[in-house]
Structure 1
Amino acid sequence: MGAEDGVTVTVRLLHGKQTAELEPQLKEVFAEAFAEPPYGEGPADVERAFRRFRSQVRRRGFRAAVAFDGDTVVGMAYGYPLSASTGWWNTLTDPVPDHLRREDGKRTFGLFELAVRPGWRRQGVATRMHRTLVEGLDNARVMLNSRSQATAAQASYRAWGYRRVGSAIPWEGAARHDVMVLDLV
C-alpha cells in the first residue's frame, strides 16, 4: 500500500509527548527500515534504539516529523538541539577543527533518526519529513550520522545540502558512520 493506492501521505510536526505515544508504530518503522542492508538490524537493535528514544523524547527542543498514510505511521525523523556538553563530537575517528566541534546548546540540531518504510520510499516522504523537521529551527546547523554504504540516504542528504565533515563510531560496536552537517544560516 502506498500513494499509488490513492492514499495521501501526510507529515505532522510533533513534540516529545506526542511522539512518545507513537512508540509502537515508530518501532515498526525502525524495524522495517533498518532490517535491510546495509544495516541488517534485528530485534536487539530496535530495543537499543528505543531505550535511547525514551530519553530523547524528553529532551529540551525535541521535535519529530512523522509521516502517516491514513492512521499508519510510514516514516519518522526526529532529533533535538545538542547540549553544550554533548559527547557526539567525541565519537569522531577523524580530527576536525575545534570551531566545528563547539556547541553551546543552541548551535546544532542533532537529527537522530530518519526512516521510511520500504513500501513508501521514492515518493518524497523522506524529503517532506526532513523539510518539516528543520523548517523554523533556530539552530545554525543540523548534524547527522549516516552509514556510507546507505547510498540512497547519502544521495538524499547531499541533495538537501549536507556535507561530510568526518566519520565516527557513534556507539560501542557500531559500524563507522559519516558525520554530515547542513548549515541553516
Structure 2
Amino acid sequence: MDGAETTALEDQLREVFAEAFAEPPYGEGPADVDRAFRRFRSQARRKGFRAAVAFDGDRVVGMAYGYPLSASTGWWDTLVEHVAAELRLEDGTRTFGLFELAVRPSWRRQGVATAMHRRLVAGLPNERVMLNTRPEATAAQAAYRAWGYRRVGAAVPWDGAAVHDVMVLVLG
C-alpha cells in the first residue's frame, strides 16, 4: 500500500498500535499513540513509503510500514555503541527503514507478522532493511532473527526512550 491508501486506515492503525504496544515491555498509552501517529502522517508522505496491512474482513489486525532512509538520516546518530563507518553510510536508497510492525494480541502466533513482513520487503530495491526493537521484546526479537535480521548495535532513538537493539536484514 502507498501512503494515501495507508493514511485512509489511520483510525484502525491507531487501534492496532494501541493494543499491540500497551503490553509489556512497551507499556505505551494514549500520549504515545498520539505521538506515533503525528509521525505517521509525515512518514506516509515520504518518498518510497510502503505498508503491508493485514485484515480480518474489514478489520485491520496488523500493520507494517516504512520508507527508505535519506542520505542525511539521523537514525545512525542515535547509536550508543560504536559501529563501523561503512555500516552507517546512507545514500537515500541503501536502507529501507521498518518503522512499525504491530499485530493485535489476539492475532499473534498465526503468521500475520511473517506474511506482512514478507509482503513489505518483497521487491524492495534497497540493499537492506533496518529496524529498532526493544531487547526485552523476546517474541519480536525471535521473529526478526528467524527472518534473517542480525543485531548491529544499540540506540536510544528519541529523548527518554529505552535502549533499543538496531537490527539489519540484508536483502537479495
Over the matched positions of the two proteins, sequence identity in percent amounts to 78
Q: Which residue of 2 aligns with 1:82?
A: 69
Structure 1 consecutive aligned stretches of length 4 or more whose deviation exceeds 4 Å: none
May I ask how many residue pairs the two structures share in their alignment? Answer: 172
- Structure 1, residues 97-148: CA drift from partner, whole Å, max 9, x if none? 1100000000000000000000100000000000000000000000000000
SS state at 2:24 partner: coil
Q: Does 1:109 align with 2:109?
A: no
1:137 aligns with 2:124: yes
1:168 match: 155
Which of 36, 45, 48 is the aligned partner of 2:23? 36
1:52 aligns with 2:39: yes
The aligned amino acid for 1:173 is: G
RMSD of aligned alpha carbons: 0.4
- Output the amino acid matched with 1:114: L
1:7-61: CA deviation from partner (whole Å, max 9, x where unpaired): xxxxxxx100000110000000000000000000000000000010000000000
Output the CA distance in 1 between the equivalents of 2:35 and 2:74. Answer: 18
Aligned counterpart, 1:96: 83
Can you give the 5+ residue segments of structure 2 that lack an aligned partner in the other structure?
none
TM-score in terms of structure 2 length: 1.00
Unaligned runs of 5+ in 1: 1-13
